[in-house]
Amino acid sequence: MAIEAPVEGSTETEREAPAGSSSGWSSLRPLALRIHFYAGLLVGPLLLIAAVSGLLYALSFQAEKIVYRQELTVPAGDRALPLSAQVEAAREARPDGTVTAVWPAAEDDATTRVLMSAPGIEEGKSLAVFVDPYTAEIRGELTSYGSSGALPLRTWVDELHRDLRLGEFGRHYSELAASWLWVVALGGLLLWLGRRRTAKRELFRPERGAKGRRKVLGLHGSVGLWAVTGLVLLSATGLTWSRYAGENIGAIQDQLGGATPAVSAAIDAGSGGGGEHEGHHGGGSGSAHQGADIGLDQALESARGAGIDSGELAISLPAEGTGYVIKERDTVFPVQLDSVAVDPGDGTVIDELRFADYPVLAKLTRYGIDAHTGVFLGLPNQLALAALALALILLIVWGYRMWWLRGSVRGQGFGGRPIPRGAWRRVPVSALLPLIAVTAAVGWFIPLLGISLLAFLALDLALGAVARLRTRT
């Protein structure tokens, strides 16, 4: 939340809380300032990249609707064709593809999205063929990614935000940024709350009449106060699918019984799915499933009869030994994410899963990830993400600005110095030992945080050694 720390002798020193109001905080404050300074200064560029790309991502949802309106929308008609006819039109348009899933049109003016595996499509992505549900006209083809169906524009921005489009290696940047964001945000919050001020309103808005560095500090602190909760939540949810910390979070979630459940689509050997009518597909699964197949339309009717009636659905077609899986995909609160599996042989529901039956931790994880990716509340969610990203950009810029202004005040020309070394010596042993233990535990649980913290300490020790050598010579 800040890239700021005062230095002794500055003409504009920090105003601490009244002496004696919190002796513990008085001893911890110099250490918090020093860590906050280095974290903000060195991790700030990574956070800035994450914030800028995150802002672009939040805006990409609405941009996608404009750029791909040809593929996404159609004039509303009177009566939609059977879903099997729409899928058959997509197959004829792309005979080299294998249909894997179908997203029926969720609104009167929306297209049906037929997802395929096809030559030239990257692993983890699908070819989306957009079909007019009223005429079976092909409106276009695009690459689709993820459960939210990101199209090329949003996918490109998402990959930039996630890994700088560098693949697995690039994921280290986003995990490092997420690992430090909550530390910098909460550290800045404590420092801001610990300042002495003449009026309580200065806590929530910049001090009136302030100028120079003091004005920038007021903007930095008050905006940070308003944004801190959102920034911490972004950090926490971002870590859930990170490479190293994400594995630890997933392991703990599994141990606590909070793993996300999934509907079982396996068909028993003696069920109707493996009947005598080999090769009869009924507009269903293409070449993947070789048993009797009631077809997409009947499978969808069976799912609706089981209560899967959300406007937004995803139908996964059966493969050998599995049935249809029909899922609700309405993530706008209150979410509708129930799912059922349907036997392709006779249309019976062989398994069902209700979102209400998810473990509490699985629900919270779902809410958190959807909020982080901008699909939990639709447009309000995306606007909130954009506001948080913009706030983080301003906080980083203001932090560097304060660092620059402090150097100007001291006549250094380029930035100031952090609080003098040895701040940890002022912390009482009764507080220092638990602090070290907690830091070690957090560093183990969030590996890139621990490794980078050790790197900061090594850098600080090296700079201290160089300074002592210069003093002696």
Quick one: DSSP state of residue 27? H
Query: Can you list the pairs that 370-374 forms with residues at least 24 positions away whose Cβ atoms lie under 8 Å?
Result: 370/331, 370/335, 371/233, 371/237, 372/233, 372/234, 372/237, 372/238, 373/148, 374/57, 374/58, 374/61
| Cross-strand partners of 314 | 327
d(CA 302, CA 342): 7
Residue 100: CB partners within 8 Å, gap ≥ 6?
115, 116, 117, 126, 288, 316, 317
Backbone phi, then psi, for 328, in 5-degree steps?
-80, 145
Strand order in the sheet with 313-316: 138-145, 125-131, 112-117, 98-103, 313-316, 324-328, 339-342, 349-353
Q: Is 11 helix (H, G, I), strand (E, B) or coil?
A: coil
In a structure prediction context, what are the per-residue pLDDT tens digits for the chain, which is 473 residues long?
544 443 333 334 444 444 344 456 677 777 788 788 878 888 999 999 999 999 999 999 999 999 999 999 999 999 999 999 999 999 999 999 999 999 999 999 999 999 999 999 999 999 999 999 999 999 999 999 999 999 999 999 999 999 999 999 999 999 999 999 999 999 999 889 888 777 788 788 888 878 888 899 999 999 999 999 999 999 999 999 899 999 999 999 889 988 899 999 998 755 544 443 333 344 444 445 566 789 999 999 999 999 998 889 999 999 889 999 999 999 988 899 999 999 999 999 999 999 999 999 999 999 999 999 999 989 999 999 999 999 999 999 999 998 888 765 555 544 555 566 666 667 778 878 888 899 999 999 999 999 998 888 887 778 778 877 888 77
Model-level pTM? 0.85
**Distances in whole angstroms, Cα of residue 110 to Cα of each of 106, 166, 465:** 6, 34, 66
Cα Rg, the chain, nearest whole Å:
28
Specify the DSSP class assigned to residue 266.
B
Rounded Cα gap, residues 176 and 163, in angstroms: 11
3-class secondary-structure state, position 72: helix
Ordered alpha helix ranges (H), 2-123: 23-67, 69-72, 83-93
